[in-house]
Structure formats: structure tokens, C-alpha cells
Structure 1
């Protein structure tokens, strides 16, 4: 296993680009090293409380070392910058000793001080000719002048903790002949995955769910624009409508490449050029940008481009290439695909809205229990909302899922089978009513009583039928009192919601009472047998 050491400081420009948070900065490096099978032998890092460009000798600072057992930074000492620079000399000698003992195969340098704080480490690295990579224009130039084997160097402008870490490890692994694929995810959160199969990270359900706040914000603006005093918001709604593909593109690009700001920039560019393709176009543009970000980033690092240039190429060109392909070739077809799906839905509703509502209501619970809801129904809801700000299936969601769940949990607060169930039901009821989500709160009561389960489906079917009767378009994921205000039929939506809630409430009350009577009868029989 190859071993490397890390030296440096929070830096001047680096301070504003991740250097002021040493744990995150080193966490990214540690994550990439782990993915490459490379061990960190030691760290000497000076973190000042402000940029080194303005820091004084009296500026407070912390000297960090490395804890090999926990694979993280450990605080060695704290004090003024002058005191910390003196204390750093001890680690500098230790690091030089490790290099001369052959226990360090490579060196990562970030805004180091090759004249004082890191002098002996740099001298040892030059003597043994180990590969050195790093950032910090002035310090890296001085390190090169001292004869160190610098294989990759760059400034810090435009870089992030992740892109720097990937660049460092890519350059070192290429030098050593080690196969390495960048690691994506959140260091310390247990979500790290290799980036060698990008298509596997395409998750349409995740993209749709993450973009939902944008659609809800648009629905709120649409509802407010119907009030005479806020009529001017109709123009804001039009702007937000155009922004939705950008939102989806950014989420898709970030999901696939996860290169921090580089992914976001690529997604914004691709999304802006995918507007004519609607939300399907935004998703496709973002996916393309995410795939290209990773490809171009790795290639540019292998070609030894400076990190600033790597980020510009990866973020700018990836977004531009994907966006132009969408703009000239795919956007019209993506838009037509979305329009065709909406056309089919509208035709089904127009043929018989009541039947469509009943069927939708009856199937909504099996859909969410079977894992189909987020994969199929939610995308259709968002496609409907793309143009009108609300949705037929969105109304069924609120009526058939949220209100039914609220009715079941309310019944278990008022008259539970067991006293302990009221405490379980109360939070679920409040979240359903207050936030228009967490329908899973009804699961324990549905799964433990077949009559409650049947009542949930029946209530959703009746509520869906009323949605069809009143031809309601609405949305869930908002407080229950706001649901009708964001719909096209305030009275119709209110009645549909109320009926579904009260029916589920009544069925659950009856089922709970029957269960209590049955339990009491069984208890009496047991008592008689014992006597």
C-alpha cells in the first residue's frame, strides 16, 4: 500500500475555498485516499482564524496532526499564529523523518511554507525524489525551485475541497501506476461510492423528489397571482415555469458527478439550454452534464491541466456540450414526450372524470405500498404541474393518501385499540395536517387491522371520485389548509378532503371498537378458564 503525507495551511485564497474548515478539507482527501487504497502517514496543517493574506502574528490558529486509528485530523495545539509556526517545527522534523525512513511515498501540499514551517519536509522530499502534488502558486513555485519532484501543481482559484482531493489522488495514482476511480458521496456519512459506473447513479425518483420544493413554490405563486392585489405575480409564475428545467438539471448533474460547485455550474448551463424541452429536457440535459463533468474532469487531471482550468473545462464545457445537444437535437422531442403524457392523462380524465378519480383513489395506496408511487405517479404529477401549477393526481394524492392517513391517525388518537397507540398516532396526524406528507404514519394501524386497511382504500376511492366530480386540480406536500387555496376549485377540494378524512376516521373508529370488544371477550373467556 502506498503512503502519503499532507502538509500546508488554511492559506490565503484557499481559506475562502475550503481551507477554513480543515475537517472537511481533509475528509475529502481521506475519502479519495481510501478509495484508491492509499494510506495517510501523517499530516501537518496550520489553520488560522482568517486568511493568511491578512493574518498577523497575533492571529489565533490551530495546529493539526493526524490520528491514524480514527483516520481524521486531531488538534495538536492552539495559540497565536507565531506560536503555532514554532510548534509546527516539531511535526516538520517528524514528517521529514518519516520520508527519510521510507514511510512516505508521496506528498500533498496546500499553501505550505517551504522556507520555515515545512522546510525540512520539503528538503527530505527533494532528497528522496518522491512525487509532490499541491496547490498554492507561490509556495509550489518555491518547492519546485528546491528540487522537489513536483508532478502536478495549480493555484486554488475555482477549486473545491473535492476537486482538489480528486486531482491530488489522480495525479499520484497515475504516477504510481495504481488504478483509481474518484469516490463520490459524503465523507463521514457512510455514503461513499466509486464513480466508475455513472449510469447506476441516475435516479429519476431522487431527481423528482429533490425538485418538488420548486414545483410547490411555483404552485404557491400561481395561487397568489389569482388574488387581485397580487395579479403581477403571474409574470413571476412564467419565470418560475422556465426555471423548472434548470432546477431539475442541476439536481441531476449533482446526483451523477457530485463534484460540488463544478456539478452545479454544469447543471445550470445545461438546464438553461434545455428550457425548450420542459422538465424532461431538464432532466436529460442534467444527466448529460453530470456524465460529462466526471469524464472531462478525470481526463483534464490526467493531462496535467492546472486545477483552475480543470474546473473550467469540466463545469463549463460539460454544461455547454450537453446543453447544446439538448437545444438543437433533443429538446423538441423531450417536450413532445411530456406533452403526450399529459395529453393521455387529460383524455382519460375527460372521458369520465369520476371513474378516473375513483380508479386513481383505489390504486393510490397499493401504488405507494408497492413502491410505484415515487417512480411513476410523482413524475406524472410534476408533468401536470409544469404547465398549470396543480395536478389531478396531485389532488388525489392529498385526498386519497394524506387525508385518509390523517383520518386513521385521528381515530387512533380519539379511540385507540390500546392506550399506547394514541401516542404513536398523534405525531403522524399533526404532520399530515400540518405538512401534507408522512402518510406512512397510518401503516402500523393498516397492517395490524384488515378492516382499517380496507377502509383506507375505500376512503381513497370515494375521495378520488369526488375529485373527479368537482374536476379538481391540486397538490399535496403543503399544509392541509393551504391545499384548497392552491387548487382550481377551493370548495370542491375542501369537500373531497373532508369526506375522505371523515370516512377513514369513521371506519377506523368502528374497527377499533370491534377489536376492543373482541379483546375483552377473549379476556373474559381466559378468566373463566382460569377460575
Structure 2
């Protein structure tokens, strides 16, 4: 196993590019080293409280980080003035130089080091033994190169991050030593989970819906132009989140996702998600290609981020976007056609299916994508209305029954907060699961209540969304009065069933004996 020493400081520009967070900076390097089977043997990093480019930096506070061989982790060795840290660092640097002379260190990773001062001993030892050196910091690396060092990769810090620097360091060293290396954190397309991307992007859809709904009010009609401008947000956010599912090279991944997302506006959310995945797949591969081609880290970061987003974005913009947009339209048309066969009956069937689907884990796979595909075109959604009226309000009805006719005295206190989360925030329907598991009648009541709410939603052709307070769901609907009726239908039906079940259990409880009552508690 090859062993390296990490030496340097938070520097000037480096401080603003990740050097101000020494724990994360050093941690990223160590993680990438492990991926290439490279061991950290020693470390010496001076982390100042501000950029050393500024006047008065000499009087700044500083921390000194070293490598603890026992715990195999970085530790803060001391804290004091920058002058004190430099004096302590010079002593530690001499120790590292001794290890280099003994052959215990095979390479150096340098960041804004001081080759003519604090780090002179270690750099000179590395030069004498021709150790491979990688590093950033234009001025310092230029001096080290002039000293005759075996520099295999160097760059400035502009445009880099802690992660991209770490990756470029390890790629260069693994190439020099001919070691296999797969960037830590990268995934294959088969490992992507698009359902998590959709749920994470929901706030972007809600933001657009909020502005669209507000613009419908006469006093706020001027917001229509702002709502139109914001309409591109969901696709951009989806592309960014999808890209991060496959790689997380910091700003490079975010930029790739954003570039692709903006080009995918006309391709719909299906195109945005696919384009984002393609961008995320490309970022680490282009990054490694450019590093191995000898590009400096700054150029690598910029080129990988830009090109990884442009390639799939332009493909969708000029060609594939037509098909992904048509796919979204086909889903919406199929849903509208199905509901049009018999609005009340189909709405009831959809409502009856909501609880079985969510309890079997199909919500994020089947229900949520349909909601977002509808919201892409209409802002709100028929399935979203079913979500709110058939799931959230039904859950609230079950919890309200525990409040009105509690099976035991302590139940009222337990359900207050979950009930508030249902009604006040449109979420946390999981709170009602426990009552469904205890009683098949409560579960059957929930399914029936959701079916009744679905019949109202389908019959009135309602659209809205969940994940918002109940009063906002009414505002976001296409028919406020009708949707209020749908929500109350689900809530009251579930409440009636839950109340009856609790009342019946109270009547039979004395016959069950003390041990059974204790078990019910």
C-alpha cells in the first residue's frame, strides 16, 4: 500500500474554496485515498480563521491539524495565534521530513504550503527522494516545481472544491503508481432511485402552484408573469437532484444538472429526470478523463460541470425532448380518458386503491410520479386531490375519532400533534397506521372513506395537491367549494367508522378482563 502525507494551509484563495472547513477538506482527501488503496501516513495542515491574503492575517487565530495514527483520523493538535501554529508546524514538518528520508512516505499532497518556510524540510526531503507530488496553490506549487520536485499534478484553487481537489489528487497519484481507482460516491445508472428524486423536488412544484394560485386572485393578477417565469423551476430542480443521485462532485454536479435542466424545459419532467441522470453519470467520467489527460484541477472542474450538462441537455433540446414530452402527455391523456369513462366510478376506484397502494410501498413508485406529471401541465393534480382527500383527511378522521372517543384516557394526548400535522401541514398519515393495524374495521373504514372522497373528486373533476396545509389545498384546487366537500367526505366517513369501533371496544372491554385491557394500553 502506498502512503502519503498531506501538507499545507488554508491559504488565501483556498480559504474561500473549502480551506475554511479543514475537517471536510481533509476528510474528502482521506476518503478518496481509501478508494485507491492509498493510506494517509501523516498530515500537517494550518487552518487560519481567515484568508491569508488579507492585511492583518499574521495576527489571526489558527488551528493545527495532524494525523493520529492510533485512531487513523485527523485531530486538532493545537489552537492559538498564526505565529504559534507556524512554530509548532515547523517542528512537526521536520518529523515528516524524517519519515520521508526513512522511506515511510511515498508521496505528498500539498495545498497552499510554504516550501520556503514552515514546510521547507518536508518539501526538500521529497525533492531529494523524487517522491511524486500533487498539489494546488499557484505560487507555492510554482516554487516547488522550480526546486526540481517530481510534480505529477498541479493547479490553482480557483473553481475547485474540497471534493474535486481530492479526486484530482488521487487520480494523479493512482495513475502515477498504476493503482486501480474508482471515485468514492459514484454510482451506476442501475443504482439510481428516481422515486427519491421526485419526492425531493416536490417543494419546487408547490412553489409554482402557490404562485399560480395566487395569480388567480383579482388583487394579485400581476403575479401571472412571475408564475410563468417560475414554471421552469421544477424541471431544473429535478435535473439537479437526478444528477446528484449518480454523483456528487459538489458544484460541478449542480452546474451540470442546472445546465441540463434549463435545456430540458420543453422536454417535460420525464426528460428533465432522464437528462439529469445522464449528466450525473457523465460528470465523474469526464472529470477523470480530463485529469488523466493532464488538465489542471480548475479547468477539469469547469469543463466537467459544463460539458456534462450540455451533452444530454442539447440532445433533449434538439431531438429526444419531443419524445419525453409526448410520453408525459400520453400519461395525462390516458388518465383523463380513464376518468372520462365514468368520473364518479373511476374516482371511487382510484380512491379505494390509495390506502392499499401506500401500505404496500407503491406510493413513491406509482402515485407520486402521476401527481407530478399532472402538476407539470396543470399546476395541480387529480391524483394529488385524492392524496389530500383520501389519505391525509382520512388519516385526520381516524385520529379525530381517537380524540373524540379514545380507547383509553391517554390516547387524546398522543394524537393531538399527529392530527395537527395532518390538517395543518398535509403530511404524516403514518400516524393512523397503528389504529389500522389494531382494527380491520378501521382499515376498511379508511379504504371506504377514501373511495367516497374519490367519488366526489372524480365526479366534480377536482384537482389539488397534498403536502400543504388543508386550507391551502382548498386554495390550490380548481374548485374550492367542491374540494372542501371532498375533504370533509373523507374526514367524516373515517371519523364515523373510527368512533364506532372505539365505542364498541369500550362496551366489550369489561368482558375481556384486566389483562386484556392492559394489553390494549
TM-score range (shorter-chain normalised) is over 0.9
Q: What CA distance in whole angstroms lies between the structure 2 residues aligned with 1:317 and 1:526? A: 67
Aligned partners of 2:63 and 2:80 also within 8 Å: yes
Match of 1:374 in 2: 364
Contact preservation (8 Å) 1:241, 1:387 = no
Residues 267-288 of structure 1: CA distance to partner in whole angstroms, max 9, x if unpaired?
Answer: 1111111111111111122112
How far did residue 328 of structure 1 move? 1.3
The residue number in structure 1 matching 2:113 is 112
- TM-score of the superposition, structure 1-length normalised? 0.94
Query: Match of 1:262?
Result: 252
Corresponding residue for residue 329 of structure 2 = 339
Q: CA RMSD of the aligned region, Å?
A: 1.6
Q: Which residue of 1 aligns with 2:10?
A: 10
Cα distance in 2 for residues equivalent to 1:205 and 1:51: 42
Please say if 1:50 is aligned against 2:50: yes
CA contact (8 A) 1:198 1:257 kept: no
After superposition, the C-alpha distances for 1:18-73 in whole angstroms (9 at most, x for unaligned) are 00010111121122122222221121111111111115321111111123344433
Does the 8 Å contact 1:40/1:68 carry over to 2? no
Cα distance, 1:121 vs structure 2: 0.9
The correspondence for 1:448, drawn from 438, 442, 455, is: 438
Q: Alpha-carbon deviations, 1:228-266, whole Å to 9, x = none?
A: 111011112222223322221111112212111101111
What TM-score, normalized to structure 2? 0.96
**CA deviations over 1:439-482 (Å, ceiling 9, x no partner):** 11111111121111111111111111111222211000001121
- SS of alignment partner, residue 232 of structure 2: helix
Contact 2:258 2:309 in 1 (8 A): yes
In structure 2, C-alpha distance between the alignment counterparts of 1:146 and 1:278, rounded to whole Å: 56
Are the equivalent residues in 1 in contact too, given 2:51–2:57 (CA < 8 A)?
A: no
Residues in 2 aligned to 1:90 and 1:506: alpha-carbon distance in whole angstroms: 77
Q: Which stretch shows the higher mean deviation, 515-524 or 485-494?
A: 515-524
Cα separation, 2, equivalents of 1:473 and 1:346: 12
What is the aligned partner in structure 2 of residue 165 from structure 1?
166
Distance (whole Å) between structure 1 residues aligned to residue 516 and residue 350 of structure 2: 45
Which blocks of at least 5 consecutive residues in structure 2 are unaligned? none
In the superposition, relative to structure 1, how do residues 500 and 91 fare at CA in structure 2: closer, same or farther (>3 Å)? Answer: same
Residue-pair matches, total = 516
Q: CA 1:524–1:58 in 2, change beyond 3 Å: closer, same or farther?
A: closer
Cα offset for 1:85?
Answer: 0.9
2:501 corresponds to 1:500: no
**How much does 1:524 deviate?**
6.8
Cα deviation 1:308-356 (Å, max 9, x = unaligned): 1111221111111111111111011111111111001111122211112
Matched residues in 2 for 1:247 and 1:434: separation? Answer: 26
Give 5+ residue unaligned stretches, structure 1: 185-194
Contact 2:50 2:57 in 1 (8 A): no
Query: Using a 3 Å threshold, how does the CA distance of structure 1 residues 525 and 270 change in structure 2: closer, same or farther?
Result: closer
Is this contact kept in 2: 1:6–1:109, CA < 8 A?
yes
Indicate if the aligned counterparts of 1:136 and 1:156 stay in contact, CA closer than 8 A: yes
Q: Residue 519 in 1 paired to residue 509 in 2?
A: yes
2:166 partner SS: helix
Partner of 1:187: none
Question: Cα offset for 1:378?
Answer: 0.7
Residue 282 of structure 1: aligned partner: 272
The farther-off stretch of 486-495 and 349-358 is 349-358
2:304 counterpart of 1:317: no
Closer/same/farther in 2, CA of residues 526 and 269 from structure 1, 3 Å limit: closer
Counterpart of 2:465 in 1: which secondary structure? Answer: coil
Which residue matches 2:91?
A: 90
Instruction: Give the equivalent residue in structure 2 for 1:272.
Output: 262
Q: What's the CA shift string for 1:69-114, capped at 9, x where partnerless?
A: 4443321112221221111111101211222222212211010001
Give 3-state SS (helix, strand or coil) of 2:65's partner: strand
Residue of structure 1 aligned with 2:392, choices 376, 387, 402: 402
